[in-house]
Structure 1
């Protein structure tokens, strides 16, 4: 399996509207497959993950990491590196969701911080 030409990581806030929407659509499909492949529960990736910027960026980074780890140029140990990254990002996603406590049935906005 090849992941095509490697480029740098994607920074969603820097992308233009059309490109951003294409990247988000690809990420949506990738996240659905990730949830299926690894039985990720809603405490880590709730159905409303797209409503949470931190989750979107963490998942996009994980997707980029997978692409690099499974490129033809990757080291033979890269698959284990990706599994470690999955574990780390899943932990981060759980921490992010602990703030809002979104569930399978309910989206909650994060608490409002006072202005700095």
Structure 2
């Protein structure tokens, strides 16, 4: 009896989604890295908006100018990639649909703060106390 060689062929997860990195910690990226990652995310967001007919009250055209929207959409994209991998559970697709629902709540909350829409962009509102002092420490 001859032993069959171990198969170290292509991983089905990698074949489906490529080599996935861990989640992106956006604040840790350099400006160049963030720009490259936003470009990668842009294709996915455009496809996602078409696939799910997402309204601009959830994802306005200026989404890439809002850090919170970038982070929420990035997390949702990563969730989809994991849920649709070959090795994912048969129920994982529904997990993604639930994540879409949850993400829409987060997205709507963020968009409501700026009132961005197809008509125009408004900058994020920064808490006034953040602009007064560089740290949250009080002088004694």
- TM exceeds 0.5? yes
2:32 and 2:119 map into 1 onto residues whose CA distance is 30
**Equivalent position SS for 2:88:** coil
Name which one, 1 or 2, has greater alpha-carbon Rg: 2
For normalisation by structure 1, the TM-score amounts to 0.90
Cα drift, residue 72 of structure 1: 1.4
Report whether the alignment pairs 1:50 with 2:46.
no
CA contact (8 A) 1:12 1:20 kept: yes
Q: How does 1:22-61 map to 2 (within 5 A)?
A: 22-61=36-75
Segments of structure 1 that go 5 or more residues without pairing to the other structure are: none
CA shift, 1:112, in A, is 3.6
Alignment partner, residue 91 of structure 2: 77
Aligned residue among 107, 113, 125 for 1:99: 113
Distance in 2 (alpha carbons) for counterparts of 1:32 and 1:23: 14
CA displacement 1:19-40 (0-9 Å, x = unmatched): 3322111101110000000000
Which runs of 5 or more residues in structure 2 are unaligned?
1-14, 130-135
How many Å separate the matches in 2 of 1:6 and 1:76?
A: 20
TM-score using structure 2 length:
0.76
Matched, 1:15 2:26: no
